[in-house]
Structure 1
Amino acid sequence: MTAGWIRTALLALLALPAAAQDFSKVEIRTTKLGDTTYLMEGAGGNLGLSIGEDAVFLIDDQFAPLSERITAAIAKLTSKPVRFVLNTHWHVDHTGGNENFGKAGAVLIAHENVRKRMSSEQFIEFVQSRQAPFPKAALPVVTFAQSVTFHLNGDEMRVMHVPRAHTDGDAIVHLVKSDVIHMGDIYWNGLYPFIDTSSGGTVDGVIAGCDQALAIAGDATRIIPGHGPGLSNKAELKAYRDMLATVAARVKKLVAEGRKVDEIKAAKVSAEYDEKWGKAFIKPDRFAEMLTLDILKGR
């Protein structure tokens, strides 16, 4: 996903409804990762896809206006319909196509907190954005508390909940045989992440989620981030995790000293990382502010 589309997608998530966005120029790009596994990129979260003798299994589904394009891209690979859609969390850039795919017959799956949040109005305080309840047809019909495993297409797809990370309903998906891990929005490749504290997210949870993925990843594991360039690896995830841990530790120290939000922003706590991670939607000052507010909430 390009920087421009990252900005568009996040504005749609955090400020404007999908209907107000122009998706007419979005192309769905598909990259084959293995015999049954694919990466799909468009506008919104990066998608994972497994196609085999058993079923078509889709990880996230971006925005509703893109459902036909996603379906058309899949149709180039198989004549089978999408049977399962797994949401990595509740945000509309990952669940916007749920209603369309659900009505077409797909089984919608997510952590139990995803269904709870999609069933009621949500307010994202950091950007002053309100999300109306999703229609019933968009809600996950299968939910899990800790983990669930799918044995499909000759693969083992382990779905693991990560508490209080990007939100309180995040899931990591490990496609064991394919050696692919889909991180959802726990991992933003080359970007400072948005952590939705209004939805129960915390920087400590994001770091823990990275550690969980790093523990099961090998040097050759392909890692799909929620946003940013769609294909990453263990070394890049480790660098992202270490950046978060370093900046969060600095913010915690300043909060413990009684520093205010403006003082922490002025301290340039992420200075050495800004050139690499701070040029997209979450700029350095907003990143410092977001971490400070998160840490203050947890005191």
Structure 2
Amino acid sequence: MKILKTLFLFFSPVLLSHAQENQDVVIKTQQLSDNVYMLTGQGGNIGLSIGYDGVFMIDDQFARLTPKILDAIRALSDKPIQYLVNTHWHGDHTGGNDNIAKQGAKIIAHDNVYQRLSTSTPKTPKEALPVITFNDKLHIHINGEDVLVFHVDNAHTDGDVLLYFPESNVLHTGDTFFNKLYPYIDLDSGGSVNGYIDAVKKALIVVDDDTKIIPGHGVLGTKKEYQFFLSMLEDLKSKVLAEIALGKTEDEVAVNSDITKTYDDLGYSWAFINSEKIRRTFYKSLKE
């Protein structure tokens, strides 16, 4: 009995913290066109297409937020969720896969997303794995418009896809765009600085000044903001390469705040990727 009481005292603050965290998260809905929406909450931004065919969903944040996300979706449509596309394998974009699959949705992702999820530790439930995968690009026809899904190599990870709705003129970038934030480039999952820059360049080809851009993280973006994001990436690459050419070590680059000062002043550092971490990431990727 004493042991149970001790365990209760130890875990109750943790459980209370998680409950409070769930309670504090609000899922906000933003309409971008007649049938395309953006949901924000905690984790990767969600894209939705709502129409007579049903609900088409892009990413699903964390499992514990699924009830709130479903409430937000049901406020828009009572039709079933037909498809869910994962833009990559990270848990803040795929954590709700199991729950959404139980709603009847078929999960779609790049081949490498299936590979990483199916071999991850802890083990991913079978129901949370994609049932449709592809290698390069995919066309989906739903709710009266086409959805162009295309893979970009070794960018944020090795399994990133972007989705473009030509009729609505909406682009979902996944984590190849962190609007007004330093990006997370997951080198351990096949990401790279050069691949990330190439991905942004590829995405910019399909957009115009009126395109609404759903970033993986951050507020809804514009072409101008995506272009500035690209210029930041290229600027950091140039500066870090110059340091590498001078024979500087990773630690020397990591403490050189001049490299990122312009963007530090704009508030681009955030909880997960601060200026030191982005300098280290660029060094490690470019040094290879």
TM-score scaled by length of structure 1? 0.87
Of 165, 178, 181 in structure 1, the residue corresponding to residue 155 of structure 2 is 165
- Report the AA paired with residue 282 of structure 2: L
What residue number does 2:276 align with? 285
Distance in structure 1 (CA, Å) of the matches to 2:101 and 2:63:
12
Of 188, 208, 214 in structure 1, the residue corresponding to residue 178 of structure 2 is 188
Secondary structure of the 1:165 match is coil
Does residue 107 of structure 1 match 2:106?
yes
Of 285, 288, 294 in structure 1, the residue corresponding to residue 285 of structure 2 is 294
Q: CA RMSD in A?
A: 1.5
How far does residue 267 in structure 1 lie from its aligned partner after superposition?
2.8
- Report the AA paired with residue 283 of structure 1: N
What residue number does 1:124 align with? none
Distance in structure 2 (CA, Å) of the matches to 1:227 and 1:133:
26
What residue number does 1:10 align with? none
What residue number does 2:264 align with? 274
How far does residue 295 in structure 1 lie from its aligned partner after superposition?
1.7
- Report the AA paired with residue 288 of structure 1: R
TM-score scaled by length of structure 2? 0.90
Distance in structure 2 (CA, Å) of the matches to 1:116 and 1:256:
37
Superposition map of 1:19-30 within 5 A: 22-30=21-29
Q: Select between 43-52 and 201-210 the one with higher mean Cα deviation.
A: 201-210
Distance in structure 2 (CA, Å) of the matches to 1:263 and 1:96:
37
How far does residue 279 in structure 1 lie from its aligned partner after superposition?
3.0
- Report the AA paired with residue 136 of structure 1: K
How far does residue 286 in structure 1 lie from its aligned partner after superposition?
1.2
How far does residue 20 in structure 1 lie from its aligned partner after superposition?
5.7
Q: Is the 1:191–1:276 contact (alpha carbons within 8 Å) kept by the matching residues of 2?
A: no
Secondary structure of the 2:265 match is helix
Secondary structure of the 1:219 match is coil
How far does residue 280 in structure 1 lie from its aligned partner after superposition?
1.1
How far does residue 253 in structure 1 lie from its aligned partner after superposition?
2.2
Deviations 1:53-73 (A, max 9, x none): 112100000000111111111
Distance in structure 2 (CA, Å) of the matches to 1:233 and 1:149:
24
What residue number does 1:126 align with? none
Deviations 1:11-59 (A, max 9, x none): xxxxx9xx96832221111011111100100100001000111121000
- Report the AA paired with residue 267 of structure 1: N
How far does residue 132 in structure 1 lie from its aligned partner after superposition?
2.0
What residue number does 1:208 align with? 198
Does residue 241 of structure 1 match 2:230?
yes
Superposition map of 1:62-81 within 5 A: 62-81=61-80
Distance in structure 2 (CA, Å) of the matches to 1:275 and 1:134:
40
Distance in structure 2 (CA, Å) of the matches to 1:277 and 1:206:
21
Superposition map of 1:218-257 within 5 A: 218-229=208-219, 231-257=220-246
Distance in structure 2 (CA, Å) of the matches to 1:201 and 1:277:
24
Q: Is the 1:192–1:277 contact (alpha carbons within 8 Å) kept by the matching residues of 2?
A: no
Secondary structure of the 1:43 match is coil
Deviations 1:88-127 (A, max 9, x none): 0000000000001112210000000000000113xxxxxx
Higher relative contact order (CA 8 A, sep 6+): 1
Structure 2 stretches of 5 or more lacking a match?
A: 1-13
Q: Matched residue pairs, number?
A: 270
Secondary structure of the 2:124 match is coil
Change (3 A) 1:192 1:200: same
Distance in structure 2 (CA, Å) of the matches to 1:241 and 1:25:
33
> What percentage of residue pairs aligned between the two structures are identical?
42
What residue number does 2:58 align with? 59
Distance in structure 1 (CA, Å) of the matches to 2:144 and 2:56:
12
Q: Is the 1:173–1:183 contact (alpha carbons within 8 Å) kept by the matching residues of 2?
A: yes
Superposition map of 1:117-132 within 5 A: 117-121=116-120, 131-132=121-122
Distance in structure 1 (CA, Å) of the matches to 2:203 and 2:247:
34
Distance in structure 1 (CA, Å) of the matches to 2:55 and 2:111:
23
Secondary structure of the 2:226 match is helix
Q: Select between 80-89 and 256-265 the one with higher mean Cα deviation.
A: 256-265
Larger radius of gyration: 2
- Report the AA paired with residue 249 of structure 2: K
Of 113, 118, 137 in structure 1, the residue corresponding to residue 127 of structure 2 is 137
Q: Is the 1:60–1:88 contact (alpha carbons within 8 Å) kept by the matching residues of 2?
A: yes
